Amino acid sequence: GGSFGDLVESTLVLDIAVRVQRRLRGHLPRATVVLTRTGDDALGLDERTAMANSLGADLFLSLHLNASDEPITTGGVTTFVLDATNDESALRLAARENGTRVNEVTGIQRLIARLHRREQVGSAREFAALLHEHTLEGGRRVLPTLEDRGVRSAMFYVLVGARMPAVLLEASFLSKPEEAAALRTVEYRDALADGIAEGIVRYLSRDQ
């Protein structure tokens, strides 16, 4: 997490995450909602998905706020899924599953990992679409000009080892003045949390 001016990403993200957790516990009383940190004691990237895997979690969400040193014209919300076609991600997944180094992974292990990722990514895209739509909707209740940067594919290491649909959400830009001003308000952080929770609930209840 970085900082921009007096805004610290890790503090704001935790504030939003706790609000999401509270809402999900209200909407899904039988669900277990686990945060990878409750203070400044951030887990390493590997440890976050390992924790989700060991809990047998249904979903993994990595929550962030974006920032750029360059002046930006388009801020807004971006949601990322791991690129399923990326051979490197399949390799890393296979290596992690087998407890071996990447260069020891065989062709068949790599193929299995690629198929596994493809299946995961189909679900992750569905999750990402709902999460993105509702986060944007929530944020726009307070900041109507909040921009839509779309759902994208990217190679984020934090998502590689997840055995469940995994998505990375950049909920706003710290370096966009109007978004930074909104993030300072409880009203906006609440609205984003509402949207994030709504997206998760919609995804989990889609088959019911």
**What pLDDT does 149 receive?**
93
Distance, in Å, from the CA atom of 109 to the CA atom of 67, rounded to the nearest integer, reads: 38
Residue 122 identity (one-letter amino acid): G
pLDDT grade for 117, boundaries at 50, 70 and 90: low
Which is nearest to 170 in space by CA: 123, 130, 131? 131
User: Which of 32-36, 82-86, 128-132, 170-174 has maximum average pLDDT?
Assistant: 128-132
The pLDDT tens digits of the residues spanning 174-197 come to 889 999 999 999 999 999 999 999
Q: What are phi and psi for residue 164, nearest 5 degrees?
A: -135, 165
Residue 147, Cα to own-chain centre: how many angstroms?
Answer: 18
